[in-house]
Structure 1
Amino acid sequence: MKYRADIDGLRTFAVVPVVLFHAGLSGFSGGFVGVDIFFVISGYLITRSLLEDIGHGGLSIPAFYERRILRLYPALFFTLFSTFAAAWLLFPPIDFYLYAKSLVATVFFASNILFFTEANYFDGSAELKPLLHTWSLAVEEQFYIVFPLVLAFISRFMNRWRGAAIAVIGLVSLAISVWATSNAPTFNFYLPITRAWELLLGSALAIGAVPELRSAAARNALALLGLLLIVVPVWLYSSDTPFPGLSALAPTLGATLLIHSAQDTVVGRMLSLKPIVYVGRISYSLYLWHWPIIVFTRFYELQHLGPIATFGVIAGSFVMAAISLHFVEAPFRRKNRFTRRQVFLAAAAGSGLLVLLGGAVVLTRGMEFRNPAAARFTRGVAGDLARFHAAPCLRTDGRVPGPGECLLGAPGRPSVVLWGDSHAAQLAPSLDVLARQRGFTVQQVTKAGCAPIQAASYTPYSELRRDCPTFGHAALERILADPAIRVVVMAGRWDMLAAGHIRAVTLGGAETVEQSQRLASESLATTARLLNARGIRVIVVDQIPLPEVNPFVCVRAAVYNGLDPARCDTFEARHSHDVQERISRTILDRVAKVGGNTSILDMRDALCSGTTCRARLNGQLLYMDDVHLSRLGSDVVAARLRPVLAERLSRN
């Protein structure tokens, strides 16, 4: 197969945006599209290789997988054994245990399935998963388990219709991805059935389904268009962009156009420049190394990385990638250096050793014997977090609790309703104690991910949000139908509304973030007016300040690595400099104008002094994670709620 330097250059435009996106550099918010560019390149190159085999006497599956092993395994094993050593040294038991599970899954190229099963509304631990990025390798290898056989079958029995067959399979995959964008976004992200069309774009080029361009002007124009279709999404896309689905068409078509048209063009010559080609040559190792380096550095530093540290992890990633290319990858690419038997035995031996290491860590729950004190601390807080997530009254479906369900406080008919998402549910334990002491009953009406607003529909934050409209309408009807309800406490993560998570297909058909924010505040205010009209007093609890670094992670990293946990005691409140926090405050200020029986309870003073907020109190955590309070934190907030609630209940 003829070498094309411009394709190595295209790899640079795939990997660099991914690295800079993960490093948090501004201007690369859509850098994740680089993975999709890799898929197109892979589909093209692998299909060309398979077609050469078929043309030279037939496809040899053992020969195909021998090439895949020599291409993938040396650098992958180097990375996996290195990350195991780093995790042993730096990770407390719970993090080491989770790492080991992902290690075993990565060896079997099944990490995408593991991460798919772990992903949920409460899964905020992406930055603690050094092997999270291997999901894309798993998608590719799962595709290549099936694709060689499919291509061989098509080439033998449907050769005349080969292009049409590839197109039909690709369109079916794209259609599933488009459907899943709104209905199953996690499924859409991680699984090969919704990514296959991206690899098949490259395959379509390889089989000659797209006619060659003879016009130099047309090739130059299409190559430039292809480059723009990659660069613009890297700059414009963000974590709020529904992806992959239709949004993935721009970067993948851009890669397709470049592969098809870039040779002997201005763009192609740019892609073939030696420095750009070299980065493309190290792109596989750079992709493998950059994320573990970022994860372990952030974990040890106990904070998000500043400019110098960010430069350091990027530079370190390039250095490790270069070492991997020259001293690990290159020696194994020399032809006829190893027999096929040796290649398969080495792959099996390395895989087996990694599985044994990972299995030992899993069976010993993260090898707790390395630091028993850290293990005890971690188990305690992790247990609280697990119980909170599993609480039956924090709903994950659209069903509102019935009249006798989810009651807190003294026995009886509820006079108070706690309504909202997990930010409302975190107040439930302390509100339960308060209600018992004061002799009233509270009904908890909470659903993960769903603020207490009347929404027509949500842009999916996760699969859980699909039921938010149903839950919101049913909750309001339930409250209005009960004449015993005197007070409603509403709490939510209001900055999610400020972020525009309900734009485009949302309240009133909002088309912009600003319209979404306005309609969110109107919905919240309208709900308050409806409740007030029935004589129900409304207390809207302001959002708690959100730390940039998970205090639980910060403390357990400090305890395990012998650092001072006092570094985790305070943080600078995001509301002092974060646009979303300011906008969410504006939304609540509009609600406060409802007046009368609606009031806003400011939580900032309960946890902060100026812009400095507490993450621990007397050595105890106030937060379970980076967005939810611990029981102690809930008590601190409930103390602020107690006199307001008592005053509201004392009114006739």
Structure 2
Amino acid sequence: MKLPLRFPRTARAGLLAVALAVCGAPAHAGPSLSPAIAKAFEPPERSAECFDIAHAHDKPEAWLCRINPSSRTAPSFVLFGDSHALQLLGAFDAAARQAGRSGVFTGYSGCVPLLGVYPLTRPDQAVRNCAALNLRMLDHVGRSGIKDVFLVAKWSYYTDMWQGTSYLNAIGLAPGEEVSVRNSRRAFEQGVLDTVKAYRALGVRLHIVPQVPQQMLAPEQAYTRAMLEQDGAAARLRALSVPRARHAQLQAFAGSVFARAVGGDAVRIMNFDDLFCDAEVCLIGTPAASYYQDPSHLSGDGAARLVPALARALSAKGPTSR
């Protein structure tokens, strides 16, 4: 009788390691993440309702979403921007409830909320026209008694190559311009100046929110690695988080442009780096909560860290020139 082939235990372990390296580990091989961690990787609840609304730039109605919709007060502030603004919608809801105010929100993916600039690489402008939406928001603010405008975006997405690749979500001062970092930065700088000037002329208070730190790994990967053992998970998450110096380098150009645009009480830069970063790293999260949905966007738990500062901004005395 032919006996089945057997291997010593150490040999079997070695063969398993080789098989996993070649074929990949089965889906259940990694640690089981807690429901709270897993939920962080889901999109915001109101994404479909409030963001990337087709023809928001020209449809007569239903192009804006209410912030703190249960409030009886008229909307008095605007949240506007790309997908990074969407990630803060829940935080603004909470802050508005604390401050006793309501607002409105809209935005398009990959559309920088700056006046006078045009996307150079996007084929979707008939449906989601970035430049037209920026103009429409300015007009809405001028006619609606809005007191505060919050601009939120992944600013380096329009001024630098994406994550070490050759892709640039280029913008220009006119359609059809050269696609290059140099030209995109020129348009960005002029767009910031024009946007600040236009909103300042309306007498509103403009709040510019610099981008949050961009992580090096997808949070799912980071947590799968870090949670292999509970002991030491916090230290492993820290080791997998982006260095603060790298974050500072990525937002250096946009930050220098914003710094030149600040003037008096009319323009405020709301930098939240200290909520996520110490002197060395910008944390991706803790063993109990991921601050990120993906490498670039905050999760609900991450955005919630901004609520106290947003509530203070909404509670502050508004401009008196209107």
> Normalising by the residue count of structure 2, what TM-score does the alignment of the two structures yield?
0.76
Q: Which residue of 1 aligns with 2:215?
A: 547
Q: Give a deviation string over 1:456-507, Cα, whole Å, max 9, x none.
A: 431326858963223222222222232x11110111111112217465x722
**In the alignment, is residue 399 of structure 1 matched against residue 56 of structure 2?**
yes
Q: Which residue of 2 aligns with 1:489?
A: 150
Q: CA deviation at 1:619?
A: 2.6
Q: Which residue of 1 aligns with 2:304?
A: 635
Q: Which residue of 2 aligns with 1:302?
A: none
Aligned mate of 1:432, from 93, 116, 137: 93
Q: Which residue of 1 aligns with 2:266?
A: 597
1: distance between equivalents of 2:122 and 2:25? 31
Q: Give a deviation string over 1:246-284, Cα, whole Å, max 9, x none.
A: xxxxxxxxxxxxxxxxxxxxxxxxxxxxxxxxxxxxxxx
Q: What letter is aligned with 1:639?
A: P
**In the alignment, is residue 412 of structure 1 matched against residue 73 of structure 2?**
yes
Secondary structure at the counterpart of residue 447 of structure 1 = coil
2: distance between equivalents of 1:642 and 1:595? 21
2: distance between equivalents of 1:377 and 1:633? 12
2: distance between equivalents of 1:408 and 1:609? 31
**In the alignment, is residue 478 of structure 1 matched against residue 140 of structure 2?**
yes
After superposition, where does 1:258-407 map in structure 2 within 5 Å? 373-374=32-33, 376=35, 379-382=38-41, 385-388=42-45, 390-395=47-52, 397-400=54-57, 402=61, 405-407=64-66
Change (3 A) 1:473 1:569: same
Secondary structure at the counterpart of residue 514 of structure 1 = helix
Query: For the pair shown, which has the larger CA radius of gyration, 1 or 2?
Result: 1
Instruction: Work out the percentage of aligned pairs sharing the same amino acid.
Output: 22
Superposition misfits of 4+ residues, deviation over 6 angstroms: 81-84
**In the alignment, is residue 443 of structure 1 matched against residue 104 of structure 2?**
yes
Structure 2 alignment gaps of length 5 or more:
1-18, 162-167
Q: What letter is aligned with 1:623?
A: Y
Change (3 A) 1:636 1:387: closer
How many pairs are equivalent? 288
2: distance between equivalents of 1:576 and 1:542? 15
Q: CA deviation at 1:87?
A: 3.0
1: distance between equivalents of 2:123 and 2:272? 27
Q: Give a deviation string over 1:573-620, Cα, whole Å, max 9, x none.
A: 45547654211212222322x544111111212221224222214631
* Residue pair 1:420, 1:447 contacting (<8 A) in 2 also: yes
Structure 1 alignment gaps of length 5 or more:
1-80, 89-95, 97-367
Q: Which residue of 1 aligns with 2:164?
A: none
Q: Which residue of 1 aligns with 2:276?
A: 607
**In the alignment, is residue 506 of structure 1 matched against residue 145 of structure 2?**
no
Q: Give a deviation string over 1:135-156, Cα, whole Å, max 9, x none.
A: xxxxxxxxxxxxxxxxxxxxxx
Q: Which residue of 1 aligns with 2:9?
A: none
Q: Flag the structure with higher strand content.
A: 2
Q: Give a deviation string over 1:321-364, Cα, whole Å, max 9, x none.
A: xxxxxxxxxxxxxxxxxxxxxxxxxxxxxxxxxxxxxxxxxxxx
Q: What letter is aligned with 2:102?
A: T
Q: CA deviation at 1:440?
A: 0.8
Aligned mate of 1:517, from 159, 182, 185: 185
2: distance between equivalents of 1:438 and 1:632? 20
* Residue pair 1:547, 1:574 contacting (<8 A) in 2 also: no
Q: What letter is aligned with 1:381?
A: A
* Residue pair 1:521, 1:591 contacting (<8 A) in 2 also: no
Q: Which residue of 2 aligns with 1:582?
A: 252
2: distance between equivalents of 1:651 and 1:635? 30
Q: CA deviation at 1:448?
A: 1.5
After superposition, where does 1:554-565 map in structure 2 within 5 Å? 554-559=222-227, 564-565=232-233
Aligned mate of 1:623, from 279, 292, 299: 292
* Residue pair 2:82, 2:110 contacting (<8 A) in 1 also: yes
Change (3 A) 1:578 1:432: closer
Q: What letter is aligned with 1:517?
A: R
Secondary structure at the counterpart of residue 634 of structure 1 = helix
Q: Flag the structure with higher helix content.
A: 1
2: distance between equivalents of 1:514 and 1:559? 42
Q: Give a deviation string over 1:101-120, Cα, whole Å, max 9, x none.
A: xxxxxxxxxxxxxxxxxxxx
Q: What letter is aligned with 1:406?
A: C
* Residue pair 1:510, 1:519 contacting (<8 A) in 2 also: no
Q: Which residue of 2 aligns with 1:201?
A: none
2: distance between equivalents of 1:423 and 1:650? 26
2: distance between equivalents of 1:378 and 1:536? 39
Aligned mate of 1:645, from 287, 308, 314: 314
2: distance between equivalents of 1:561 and 1:472? 48
Q: Give a deviation string over 1:603-644, Cα, whole Å, max 9, x none.
A: 212221224222214631111111111112112123223223
